[in-house]
């Protein structure tokens, strides 16, 4: 009898966003912009900004508790907690360790992966490897970011784009059936490291009075370059995972792409030949929540009952690094 490796099944999802809403008109009071410009260039209408007394792990905790409840899994049953984030509570330890303690998980291993906007896909893909190898059975996979803390609220080209959020998925091993992650793939091109980054605060340029005065602790981005490479790369990697899974575009029930800009999403859908009715867009309500964008959108569509058993869903993301990825999942 041949032994096949287990498949990774998404058993439950949860999400959390801050209650404070910041509209385009609110931002237009701070920088020289308008609701018309932001909506037409990005599709964003409003975003959520985390309250001052909260941290990324607080959002992650709320999303995680909802995912565990949805999955009907006790926290004690978790073997691992893997978090995609680039805005952890501290430089170290990892947000995953902070979250583990907040959830009361015991006898687990927890770590962060930093792939910026592709954080959730990276965390999911790594989890899939642990599950397929037989090393773990149940994992909590989280994507959370609080980029509002790293925005220059005087830079109109970036401060309009981002919002805060957290999304989580309980991923479990399944030994039979054809459900689960069919294919997942990650890719990076580090030659673009300084196309989208935070200049100071790391080992290269630690915080000084000067770095603060020069506003080097907030996001710098060459938006046009990101846009161009994002569409091309997400198309390529999406086609590769679909090929590997033996799935054609018409078999897809839904696409849940990273939510950075509505124009990126529509360009990607058009290149892949996928009608927009099958493509999830919530960037209008949350802006770009980085690693949280895919799991938040996925949780919303699951709770709306838009994913039925057997449905095949494509996830794809792109962000700083550049780091990108895609996964095909049969629910």
Q: Which positions touch ligand UT7 (CB under 6 A)? A: 33, 37-38, 41-42, 117, 156-157, 160, 196, 223-224, 226-227, 230, 260-261, 264, 288, 318-319
- What minimum distance in Å lies between the beta carbon of 119 and ligand UT7? 11
Task: Give 158's DSSP letter.
Answer: T
Nearer to ligand UT7, 37 or 111 (CB): 37
Q: Which residue is nearest to ligand UT7 (CB)?
A: 223
Nearer to ligand UT7, 132 or 285 (CB): 285
Give me 99's structure tokens: 């979250």
Nearer to ligand UT7, 97 or 226 (CB): 226
Interatomic CA distance for residues 58 and 72, integer angstroms: 21
Residue 114 annotated as catalytic: no
- What minimum distance in Å lies between the beta carbon of 102 and ligand UT7? 27
Nearer to ligand UT7, 166 or 264 (CB): 264
List 114, 138, 288, 316, catalytic entry: 288
- What minimum distance in Å lies between the beta carbon of 130 and ligand UT7? 26
- What minimum distance in Å lies between the beta carbon of 15 and ligand UT7? 18
CB-count exposure of residue 154 (10 Å: 0-12, 13-18, 19+): exposed
Interatomic CA distance for residues 96 and 15, integer angstroms: 16
Residue 248 annotated as catalytic: no
Number of H helices, E strands in the chain: 10, 13
Interatomic CA distance for residues 272 and 243, integer angstroms: 13
Nearer to ligand UT7, 29 or 224 (CB): 224
Residue 251 CB contacts under 8 Å (≥ 6 apart), including other chains? 312
List 97, 122, 258, 316, catalytic entry: 258
Interatomic CA distance for residues 128 and 27, integer angstroms: 40
- What minimum distance in Å lies between the beta carbon of 311 and ligand UT7? 26
Residue 201 CB contacts under 8 Å (≥ 6 apart), including other chains? 207, 211, 216, 217
Nearer to ligand UT7, 260 or 314 (CB): 260
List 86, 97, 117, 159, catalytic entry: 117
Residue 258 annotated as catalytic: yes
- What minimum distance in Å lies between the beta carbon of 18 and ligand UT7? 19
Q: What is the helix, strand, coil percentage profile of the chain, to 5?
A: 40, 25, 35
Neighbours of 256 (CB within 10 A): 27
Give the distance, in angstroms, between the CA of residue 211 and the centroid of all CA atoms in the same chain: 29
What are the residue numbers of the active site?
117, 258, 288
């Amino acid at each position: 009898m041949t032994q096949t490796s287990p498949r990774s099944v998404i058993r439950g999802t949860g999400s959390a966003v801050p209650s404070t809403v910041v509209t385009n008109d609110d931002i237009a009071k701070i920088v020289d912009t308008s609701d018309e410009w932001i909506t037409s260039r990005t599709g964003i209408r409003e975003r959520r900004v985390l309250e001052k007394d909260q941290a990324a792990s607080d959002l992650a905790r709320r999303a995680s508790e909802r995912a565990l409840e949805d999955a009907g899994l006790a926290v004690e049953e978790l073997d691992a907690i893997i978090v995609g984030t680039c805005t952890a509570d501290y430089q170290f330890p990892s947000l995953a360790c902070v979250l583990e303690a907040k959830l009361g998980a015991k006898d687990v291993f927890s770590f962060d992966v930093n792939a910026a906007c592709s954080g959730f896909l990276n965390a999911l893909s790594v989890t899939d490897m642990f599950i397929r190898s037989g090393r773990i059975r149940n994992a909590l996979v989280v994507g959370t970011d609080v980029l509002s803390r790293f925005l220059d609220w005087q830079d109109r080209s970036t401060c309009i784009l981002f919002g805060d959020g957290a999304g989580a998925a309980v991923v479990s091993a399944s030994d039979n059936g054809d459900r689960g992650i069919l294919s997942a793939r990650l890719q990076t091109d580090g030659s673009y490291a300084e196309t989208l980054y935070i200049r100071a605060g790391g080992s290269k340029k630690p915080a000084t009075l000067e770095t603060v005065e020069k506003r080097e602790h907030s996001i710098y981005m060459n938006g046009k370059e990101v846009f161009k490479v994002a569409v091309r790369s997400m198309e390529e990697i999406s086609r590769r995972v679909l090929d590997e899974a033996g799935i054609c575009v018409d078999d897809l029930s839904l696409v849940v792409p990273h939510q950075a800009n509505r124009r990126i999403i529509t360009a990607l859908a058009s290149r892949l030949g996928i009608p927009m009715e099958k493509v999830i867009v919530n960037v209008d309500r949350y802006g770009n929540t980085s690693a949280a964008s895919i799991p938040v959108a996925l949780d919303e569509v699951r709770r709306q009952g838009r994913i039925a058993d057997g449905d095949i869903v494509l996830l794809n993301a792109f962000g700083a690094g550049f780091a990108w990825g895609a996964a095909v999942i049969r629910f």
